[in-house]
Amino acid sequence: MRTLLMAATASVALAAPALAAADGPYVGIEGGVTFPRNSDLDVILNNTTTYNNGYKVDYKDGYDVDAIVGYKLGPVRLEGEAGYKRAKVKSLGVGTPLITDVGTAAGTTATAGDFSVGNHIGIKTLMANALLDSNFGGGFGGYIGGGAGRAWASQAGDSDNAWAYQGIAGLRYALTPNLDAGVKYRYFRTGTLNFNDTFAVNAVPFTTETSGHYSSHSVLASLVYNFNGRVAPAPVAAEAPPPPPPPAPPATQTCADGSVILATSVCPAPAPPPPPPPVERGERGR
């Protein structure tokens, strides 16, 4: 699942925009399944002897929920995230040197069942994320990025906190101009967490301090509301057609008097010739 989502969102920057989310604030809720990785813990027994990888904790699948508030600015989303993860302990492996030393100190044969890290781990987080976001077209989009913040963990009746970081990738679909539904992958890891515990074997008390990292993969469904909605890309203006050619000049004719008229018109009648001059006669009797 992680490989599929990372590959799908690697092309974020190359995606063609369509129905792009407008810049502005947004809020969301997310929830799904978390898959904790096995944790190797160093154990300090009775504040004296350290056993590297003395415990190996195997967790069951758990749940992961969070709420986000953020702001989109162009292709970048900046957001704050408050979350909670919880998973039950599936099994606890204990190193042979640790079992042997506890049994020797208690004067009996010790087993892994004499040790405990509680039945679950719970982690509260406050994270700041930076994501690269883009649209794929047809209402689909994706994002990829990461975040850092603080984690508060509780286990075996004790609690501790440490810095944490995460990697994020996701796909989304615009249900409405304001509402997105999506799926999100998250890899999460804490800094070193320390937990104290006490137990007894054969009525002999022991104290332990465990230290190690917690990490997990999560797949979440998300629902995000964008306050500024979405805007369709501006339509490309169609190129104006070229102007029609000028009409051909009408046919003409030249009349006898030299005037030029339309070919469909009739030339004016020629003017009548002037009358002949009068004839002069001689005097009578001559």
Distance (Å, whole) CA 233 – CA 186 = 31
Name the average pLDDT for the chain: 88
pLDDT band at 191 (very low <50, low <70, confident <90, very high): very high
User: Using an 8 Å Cβ cutoff, are 129 and 146 in contact?
Assistant: yes
Could you tell me how far CA 184 lies from the centroid of its own chain?
Answer: 8
Instruction: Give the chain's domains with CATH numbers.
Output: 2-231 (2.40.160.20)
pLDDT band at 21 (very low <50, low <70, confident <90, very high): low
For residue 34, the surrounding DSSP H or E stretch is: strand 24-36
For residue 6, the surrounding DSSP H or E stretch is: helix 2-9
Coil, helix or strand at residue 14: helix
Single-letter amino acid code for the residue at 193: L
Report CA-CA distances (Å) from 149 to 26, 33, 163, 183, 191. 20, 21, 6, 22, 11
pLDDT score at 143: 97
- Encode pLDDT of 212-236 as tens digits: 999 999 999 999 999 987 766 566 7
Closest alpha carbon to 121 in 83, 82, 164, 159: 159
* Position 183 pLDDT exceeds 70: yes
Q: What is the chain's length?
A: 286
Instruction: Look at the alpha carbons of 63, 84, 57, 197 in this order and tell me if their dihedral is positive or negative.
Output: negative
Which distant-in-sequence residues (6+ apart) come within 8 Å of 165 by Cβ? Answer: 146, 147, 148, 149, 188, 189
* Position 92 pLDDT exceeds 80: yes
Distance (Å, whole) CA 220 – CA 182 = 8
pLDDT score at 76: 96
| Phi and psi based region of residue 263 (left: phi greater than 0; alpha: psi -120 to 50; beta: remaining) | alpha
| DSSP bridge pairs for 234 | none
* Position 49 pLDDT exceeds 80: yes
More confident residue, 104 or 240: 104
Cα first-last separation, the chain: 145
pLDDT score at 246: 85
Residue 98's φ and ψ, nearest 5 degrees, are: -65, -45
pLDDT score at 156: 87
pLDDT score at 260: 79
* Position 9 pLDDT exceeds 50: no
pLDDT score at 23: 87
Q: How many CB atoms lie within 10 A of CB 234?
A: 6
